[in-house]
Structure 1
Amino acid sequence: MSSSIEWKVAAERDLMNLGSRPRLFVRGEGSHLWDDEGTRYLDFLGGIAVNCLGHAHPVFVEAVSRQAATLAHVSNLYTSEPQLALAARLKRLAGTGEQGRVFLANSGSEANESAIKLARLHGNPRGAQTILCLEGAFHGRTTGALSLTPKAAYQDPFAPLLPGAKAIPVTIEALEAAFAEGGVAAIVIEPIQGEAGVRELPERFLARARELATAHDALLILDEVQTGSGRTGRWFAFQHPDVVPDAVTFAKGVAAGFPLGGLITFGAASELFSPGTHNSTFGGNPLASHVADAVLGFIESEDLLANVTARGDQLRAAVAEYPIVSGTRGAGLLIGVTLEEPVAPQVAAAALERGLIVNAPAADVIRLAPAYTIGDAEIDEFLNLFREALAAVAQTQEIPA
């Protein structure tokens, strides 16, 4: 297609009306993207925390090419060496021990659907059917995952949803009260609420959830679709407070852009699924499994988690001094930049016009989720472009800078 008008017409004509598409990207390399007009952009959103190695990384390209030329798919009736290798690596990185098990799917929503079924298998035999979630949570767009995503704009058009889902405030008092009511099969928690604006949990919240889940024979399930695979500087965010869940879901960055998600179980929860209770035709296919194993292996061998931690600290310290910035939150390279006014969408738009990709998960928050491979050059470029975008919005909105 030769012009922006042509592709926009085609998108409006042929694609579902599910949101604006302001650019047509045609190529990527490292932390940069190019659109159909040849304009270069610095990508500090990473496909929403997916492209952990950036674009067209040699490890990713080689893994896709090698496995695609060897064996791509055999269905869930069989297994493959890449599937076994990835499962073993995930168990080791998560610290499950021998009893842990892995289920491989295709996305974060599918991973969370698997976790919901795990909760049902655990709770139904004893009549416990409540699955707790937190206000502000985002667990996916499929019907079950949406039931645990308590946002009216998302849920109302598709009601009635999954029975038994209950959202509670993000306080230890509300947590204790919910368990005291009884009948809880599981609680599903994001260690950092990404879509709510990169919101951290209160101190000891996860630890108290672990204590209550154990005391009430409920599962503690952590949704690490966004925070897992090293995004926070540890392989999984639950490893920061060292709270061991019964299950953890993952996706996004695990295969650096190749679609893959899954569920890791710990302890007795590993025995809940049995033949016929769950599966996925494409889940665990050799191609996706090999790519994820290669990506995680590279992150590990290059000690990129140390870079995630160091660069995250560097970014938070730098942007804290910028105009209309009120603070930062998050961990590693999942960063929420909080603003003094609810102008985050305008800031994201101004950044895009200047060649910087970020997004606004909340009215007063800009989310950053760049590649784990960023260095001084990418950070310097980001800081210059981000400062310009903030200043432009401050001037337009007449906000004191």
Structure 2
Amino acid sequence: MSIDLKQELKINQNQHVSEYINKVLGLIEKEDINQDEAEWITKETVDGFRDHVNPGFLDYRKTVTKDGQFAAVEWSDTGACFKDVNGKEYIDCLGGFGIYNVGHRHPKVVKAVTDQLKRQALHSQDLLDPLRAMLAKILAEITPGNLKYAFFTNSGTESVEAALKLAKMYSERTTFISTTRAFHGKSLGALSGTAKGMFRKPFLPLIPGFRHVPFGDIDMMRKTFEVCSAVGEDVAAVLLEPIQGEGGIILPPENYLKEVRELCDQYGALLIFDEVQTGMGRTGKMFAAELFEVVPDIICLAKAFGGGVMPAGAVVATEDVIKSWFPNPFMHTTTFGGNPLACAAAIATIGVLLEEKLPERAAEVGEYFLNKLKEASKGYEDKVQEIRGQGLMIGIEFHQDEIGYEVSKGMFDHGVLVAGTLINSKTIRIEPALTISYEDVDKVVGTFKKVLEQV
């Protein structure tokens, strides 16, 4: 092929890509789309996932698929709901696995991000960026105990990675204790603390030094500390979710977290709370640590931290823990962590949580929701094994995966999205916006009961 022909083909290719980009941007610009546009978006989405993202998603997300095509391609959202490209509205009880605590596109969070965007989107990486300092001060005020210094990230797994590195530098110990059914992320360090075998096996060996004990078993935790001490592998830190999320909304036994705190103090280990899912008001307190009256040495935040508008996370630690990073603040960095848009979103999010008393609301609405779901499940004990939760973090456990899958699919068909998948539906999670109305709660409960009758 001649050089001229190659250049001509390249020009034609670039022109085609530019035309495609302009069409997509034109659709983004529109407030409303017509039926033809909705059909085009749906086809492009399905084809794009199959040919250029990962075709596995088309099989995995069968609860939202119909006749080989997506029944719902999301397009817009507001409040506690979102709409697909065809205009069908869904009550969002999945909530991005706990992202939308203040609701979808809360006006104050959107305004803060938009206002910041008009002035400066990203920081220079060299000058001091003001919003990072201001957000860190706010976190020092609202986090429990003497947590004082913040390091900002973009996601939960990054927050856990930073916490693990902090713990290693604090004592130069390399042993960590995590728990069964734990989920802390999927980067290599965070995955080492995560318990689910199917995520771990393809990447073994992971980071050495991690030991897993049953969640809630304080005797096994104590014995593990004793063994580690006896063989010279002293524990650097215990990594825990105060309430396990991905594990199926597992609440700790009474006094368990306090006893873990005591063990950490006894053996000179740090206590890391992964509050990526439980934080920011989800459980009825700003942080789940407050529920159990336990102060960790490090707390990990993400998901709802960015208000459902920006990806944002944080690690907040005591001065004693984080001071090893003082001589060289570049020991651990991330380019976009703590960027102005993310900080603006987080500041506004905390403001909304406090002004609207959303943690308190989560406790009240969560209790109502939990009781209504239990009431609706009466007579279906052959299908529903247990309904449990704290605040607006609720789990419905079924006797079999297949039942949970059918329930989550049936609820989706009736306009309610819950956390249920093809391969892990024994427990489906209910994690709506903390702003969800009682009317929507009643609709969800009514849908749940109707679907139970049909399964």
When the two structures are superposed, what TM-score results if normalisation uses the length of structure 2?
0.82
Partner of 2:98: 49
CA 1:2–1:267 in structure 2 vs 1: closer, same or farther (change >3 Å)?
closer
| Corresponding position: 1:64 with 2:113 | yes
Q: Tell me the alpha carbon deviations over residues 206-259 of structure 1, each in whole angstroms, 9 at most, x when there is no partner.
A: 111111111111110010000011111111101112111110100011122210
SS at match of 2:387: strand
* Largest Rg, 1 or 2: 2
Q: Tell me the alpha carbon deviations over residues 319-345 of structure 1, each in whole angstroms, 9 at most, x when there is no partner.
A: 002233343222111111223444212
Q: Distance in 2 between matches of 1:24 and 1:215?
A: 52
Kindly indicate whether the alpha-carbon contact (under 8 Å) linking 1:76 and 1:280 is maintained by their aligned counterparts in 2: no
Code of the residue aligned with 1:120 in structure 2: it is K
Partner of 1:359: 419
Corresponding residue to 1:268 among 316, 320, 339: 320
Kindly indicate whether the alpha-carbon contact (under 8 Å) linking 1:96 and 1:267 is maintained by their aligned counterparts in 2: no
Code of the residue aligned with 2:138 in structure 1: it is R
Q: Tell me the alpha carbon deviations over residues 125-167 of structure 1, each in whole angstroms, 9 at most, x when there is no partner.
A: xxx3211100110000111101111221101111121011111
More moved, 289-298 vs 336-345:
336-345
Code of the residue aligned with 1:179 in structure 2: it is F
Corresponding residue to 2:356 among 295, 299, 302: 302
For 1:174-193, list aligned pairs within 5 A.
Answer: 174-181=220-227, 182=229, 183-193=234-244
Partner of 1:112: 160
Kindly indicate whether the alpha-carbon contact (under 8 Å) linking 2:144 and 2:289 is maintained by their aligned counterparts in 1: no
Report the alpha carbon displacement of residue 113 of structure 1 after superposing the two structures with TM: 0.4
For 1:318-333, list aligned pairs within 5 A.
Answer: 318-323=372-377, 324=380, 325-333=384-392
| Corresponding position: 1:129 with 2:177 | no
CA 1:44–1:218 in structure 2 vs 1: closer, same or farther (change >3 Å)?
same
For 1:361-380, list aligned pairs within 5 A.
Answer: 362-380=424-442
Kindly indicate whether the alpha-carbon contact (under 8 Å) linking 1:76 and 1:282 is maintained by their aligned counterparts in 2: no
Q: Tell me the alpha carbon deviations over residues 80-111 of structure 1, each in whole angstroms, 9 at most, x when there is no partner.
A: 222122111111111344x6100011000000
Q: Which runs of 5+ in 2 are unaligned?
A: 1-36, 65-71
For 1:2-401, list aligned pairs within 5 A.
Answer: 2-3=38-39, 4-17=42-55, 19=57, 20-21=60-61, 22=64, 23-97=72-146, 100-124=148-172, 128-170=173-215, 171-181=217-227, 182=229, 183-257=234-308, 258-274=310-326, 275=328, 276-323=330-377, 324=380, 325-342=384-401, 343-360=403-420, 362-393=424-455
Q: Distance in 2 between matches of 1:123 and 1:345?
A: 45
Q: Tell me the alpha carbon deviations over residues 24-49 of structure 1, each in whole angstroms, 9 at most, x when there is no partner.
A: 10011111111122221111111111
| Residues matched between the structures, number | 389
CA 1:363–1:82 in structure 2 vs 1: closer, same or farther (change >3 Å)?
same
Code of the residue aligned with 1:65 in structure 2: it is T
Kindly indicate whether the alpha-carbon contact (under 8 Å) linking 1:100 and 1:270 is maintained by their aligned counterparts in 2: no
Q: Distance in 1 between matches of 2:307 and 2:453?
A: 33
Code of the residue aligned with 2:45 in structure 1: it is W
Q: Distance in 1 between matches of 2:359 and 2:192?
A: 33
Q: Distance in 2 between matches of 1:298 and 1:169?
A: 37
CA 1:344–1:75 in structure 2 vs 1: closer, same or farther (change >3 Å)?
farther
Report the alpha carbon displacement of residue 75 of structure 1 after superposing the two structures with TM: 4.5
CA 1:392–1:113 in structure 2 vs 1: closer, same or farther (change >3 Å)?
same
Q: Distance in 1 between matches of 2:266 and 2:405?
A: 43
CA 1:186–1:326 in structure 2 vs 1: closer, same or farther (change >3 Å)?
same
SS at match of 1:242: coil
Q: Distance in 2 between matches of 1:146 and 1:153?
A: 11
More moved, 13-22 vs 328-337:
13-22
Q: Distance in 1 between matches of 2:56 and 2:161?
A: 22
RMSD: 1.7
The alignment-based identity, stated in percent, is 33
Code of the residue aligned with 2:315 in structure 1: it is L
Report the alpha carbon displacement of residue 5 of structure 1 after superposing the two structures with TM: 3.8
Code of the residue aligned with 2:189 in structure 1: it is G
Kindly indicate whether the alpha-carbon contact (under 8 Å) linking 1:246 and 1:267 is maintained by their aligned counterparts in 2: no
SS at match of 2:54: coil
Q: Tell me the alpha carbon deviations over residues 180-216 of structure 1, each in whole angstroms, 9 at most, x when there is no partner.
A: 0121111100001100100011221111111111111
Q: Which runs of 5+ in 1 are unaligned?
A: 394-401
Kindly indicate whether the alpha-carbon contact (under 8 Å) linking 1:123 and 1:184 is maintained by their aligned counterparts in 2: no
> Whose helix proportion is higher, 1 or 2?
2
Kindly indicate whether the alpha-carbon contact (under 8 Å) linking 2:170 and 2:322 is maintained by their aligned counterparts in 1: no
Q: Tell me the alpha carbon deviations over residues 319-375 of structure 1, each in whole angstroms, 9 at most, x when there is no partner.
A: 002233343222111111223444212211111111110013754322111111112
Kindly indicate whether the alpha-carbon contact (under 8 Å) linking 1:96 and 1:265 is maintained by their aligned counterparts in 2: no
More moved, 208-217 vs 105-114:
208-217
SS at match of 1:195: coil
When the two structures are superposed, what TM-score results if normalisation uses the length of structure 1?
0.93
